[in-house]
Amino acid sequence: MAGKLAVIGAGLMGAGIAQVSAQAGWDVVLRDVTDEALKRGTDGIKASYDKFVAKGKLEAHDADAAVARITATTDLDAVADADVVVEAVFEKLEIKHEIFRTLDKLVKDEAILASNTSAIPITKIAAATERPERVVGAHFFSPVPMMQLCELVRGYKTSDETLAKAREFAESVGKTCIVVNRDVAGFVTTRLICALVVEAAKLQESGVASAEDIDLACKLGFGHAMGPLATADLTGVDILLHATNNIYTESQDEKFAAPELMRRMVDAGDIGRKSGQGFYKH
């Protein structure tokens, strides 16, 4: 399967989705609100292709062909003839509603509208459209070119056909899918990592064990490639706190009540690798 894909948002996730899709033969429109954001996104894609070429995992002519299949634009109207649209913007429902309301008016009737959200219920996003049956969650993982998983989420009104087409798209760009059949906040993966990070942060906060030992326990005891607190630093403590708050607000489940330590770290700007300090110094 290959066709025309529109990706809304040229950040780390959006650029990654555009990259794997173009490499798989999709014609990609990558849209963001500023030329600067688009340049950062496309520069990142080219740099990633160059690394794959240098390692012998991608032929140079294939990389050049993939780059040529990506069109960067600030014009949202460019999505009009897309077969699949993937939204990958900031995790704020109001922003997503605005985008989906606009997409609803622009795209063709048979287009699939997907959100890369990691925590917001798909049903809430789909409610901004007149076609909730065509809206689905397609949660990719960072870094997209390296991570094999795609979490497909069925909203309350998502049709079987839409879910099947979303799976076909994700598999066509090399991903393995799991299906979330009930649209709970945080789905499967974000609920699991948030619960683990919250408990790990509580253990550190209360002096039970150090961040290093908590992470080591998960790596050696459970076979995790990376411990939960190192994962929080990589993802961004602020991002995980936001996701955890979303899940707690929706579920009122106390295990998603983030500890004060995480809140104060975010207040202080200690949000992980991107700031140089999180649970670890970077």
pLDDT in tens, 118-173: 888 999 999 999 999 999 999 999 889 999 999 999 999 999 999 999 999 999 99
Segments in the chain forming alpha helices (H): 12-23, 35-54, 60-68, 93-106, 122-126, 160-172, 189-205, 211-222, 228-235, 237-251, 260-268
The whole-model pTM stands at 0.90
Looking at every residue in the chain, the average pLDDT score rounds to: 96
Helix (H) / strand (E) element for 115: namely strand 112-115
Give the CA radius of gyration of the chain.
19
pLDDT in tens, 223-248: 999 999 999 999 899 999 998 998 99
Q: What angle do CA 111, 71, 175 make, to 5 degrees?
A: 60
